[in-house]
Amino acid sequence: MSHRAERFTYVGFDVEPGHNRLTCRYRLDDREFNETFNFPGGGDWTQPAVAEAARLLFLLAGISYYKAGAPPVIDLASTAVTPLERKMLLRYHLDGLGEFAHRNELDLSALQIVGPERTRDTPTPYLAKPGRPLIPFGGGLDSIVSVELIRPRADDPALFVVNRPGDRFAAIEEPAALTGLPVVRAERVLDGQILRSRELGFLNGHVPVTGIISAIALVAAVLDGRDAVVMSNEWSASSATLVVNGRPLNHQYSKSAEFEATLRAVVAEALGAPDYFSLLRPFSELWIAREFATDLRYLHHFHSCNRAFHIDRSTRQSQWCGRCDKCCFIDLVLAPFVPAEQLRQVFAGTEPLAEPELLGTFRRLLALDPDAKPWECVGDEAECRVAARLAGERPDRRGNPILKALVSASEGFIDPSVETLLAPLSEHHIPDRYAPDALLG
């Protein structure tokens, strides 16, 4: 299927309590897809709220299969949705697939979502147990900071991890074990056809996977009686990666404040609880890096390099590659706060800031070249420019050729002050019971 399909259909979903399993069924023209979600820890499947959470997951997970043919019509078939849910789905596809459409030269603007409408008078009852947040955990700097911020404010916090059956990522498991918190797990089994996209001629590209992870976490939270799903999406996740004809395209759309607010509203309408919010929404990556550096227990255990998360185990790396956009960004944002020698050890002697041939990669992070910001989960370009200036002022970084070049090239930019970036920056949905001290002072 090298061309666009005509119709994508939400066929239905099956909840199987005896197997702790949810199966979602979709159709792209005449091709059927099944995706399975296992919740090995079980829980109370008899709650009506579980079926409602499962329905939301069914709606959000379909995008992986819609993308294969990107048709102009999405047919909900017998799945009725409220006007708010329909609006969420439309924005989720148009904005969540903004990068995918741009890079595949597709116009999705005429997308239609057809199917029955549902009215809802009150949410489906769900009795959450207070003080029991669920924290999706990826082993990186952001989720580690969330864990340590929320730990003293919760009676029974737990991590949440999604993986394929029988396949766990060491880059997640090592820092997860270091937290000492229990782990609630889910297993995601993609339809095998979607893993053969190139062979089968499907369209390919980025999907808003954080939206899917959020929905899986909501099901797990309801099964386990949790009162909140606590994300770790920062202020800059709302920044556009690229602006095309006046329209912002954001690689991190499903980490953005807009998506968070929309999904919160849908969850509140459907279930009332659990709460859904990002604990790091008001903060810059610079603030998060400084917070991380106040306790360096995790410094040689955290991991953010994408090469540690390859599906193919034979290509999966146990160390930071030290060359990709993500490695360069993490090095840069920590450099103002962590001694140079310690960061060199993190990157096993190949620290990006010590490699002159990576200057071009750093220039892209600082937006010193037009329209060159990488399609990656990295911070805002102004944050990066400020981080370069701060790092260049450290005695152990003076004379670093990359930092000198970046600071010199940044002289014409008017960026936020350090004080601004190290203070809360935006509105947020963090409830008082889980609010960090920085928001309560």
The strand ranges marked E within 64-163 are 73-75, 112-114, 133-136, 158-163
Tell me: do 395 and 330 sit in the same domain: yes
Residue at which a domain ends, from 278, 309, 324? 278
| Residue given tokens 């916090």 in the structure block | 157
Tell me: do 189 and 331 sit in the same domain: no
* pLDDT reading at 435 higher than 60: yes
Residue 233 lies in a domain: yes
Tell me: do 19 and 59 sit in the same domain: yes
How far apart are the C-alpha atoms of 260 and 239, rounded to whole Å? 14
Tell me: do 274 and 219 sit in the same domain: yes
| Mean pLDDT of all residues belonging to the chain | 93
Q: How many domains does the chain have?
A: 2
Query: Which pLDDT band, with edges at 50, 70 and 90, does 379 fall under?
Result: confident
Residue 428 lies in a domain: no
Residue 190 lies in a domain: yes
Tell me: do 332 and 251 sit in the same domain: no
* pLDDT reading at 371 higher than 80: no
CATH of the domain at 32: 3.40.50
Across 392-419, average pLDDT: 94
* pLDDT reading at 392 higher than 70: yes
| Residue given tokens 């960004």 in the structure block | 329
Across 154-163, average pLDDT: 97
Domain with 317, as residue range(s), is 285-421
Residue 3 lies in a domain: no
Query: Which pLDDT band, with edges at 50, 70 and 90, does 1 fall under?
Result: very low
pTM of the model: 0.95
Look at residue 310 in the predicted model and tell me its pLDDT. 63
* pLDDT reading at 370 higher than 90: no
Tell me: do 330 and 225 sit in the same domain: no
Per the model's pLDDT, the better-predicted residue between 313 and 427 turns out to be 427
**pLDDT tens, position by position, 86-123:** 999 999 999 999 999 999 999 999 999 999 999 998 99
Look at residue 312 in the predicted model and tell me its pLDDT. 67
- DSSP assignment of 38-60: E-TT---TTSHHHHHHHHHHHHH
Tell me: do 242 and 294 sit in the same domain: no
Query: Which pLDDT band, with edges at 50, 70 and 90, does 56 fall under?
Result: very high
Query: Which pLDDT band, with edges at 50, 70 and 90, does 335 fall under?
Result: very high
Tell me: do 323 and 271 sit in the same domain: no
Question: In angstroms, what CA-CA distances link 288 with 79, 236, 267?
Answer: 41, 11, 27
Tell me: do 184 and 98 sit in the same domain: yes
**pLDDT tens, position by position, 233-259:** 999 888 888 888 888 888 899 999 999
Look at residue 440 in the predicted model and tell me its pLDDT. 77
Residue 433 lies in a domain: no
The answer to whether the beta carbons of residues 204 and 109 sit under 8 Å apart is no
Query: Which pLDDT band, with edges at 50, 70 and 90, does 20 fall under?
Result: very high
- DSSP assignment of 189-245: E--TTGGGHHHHT-------HHHHHHHHHHHHHHHTT-SEEEE---GGGGS-SEEET
Look at residue 294 in the predicted model and tell me its pLDDT. 93
Across 281-310, average pLDDT: 89
* pLDDT reading at 375 higher than 90: no
Out of 17-26, 62-71, 374-383, pick the least confident.
Answer: 374-383
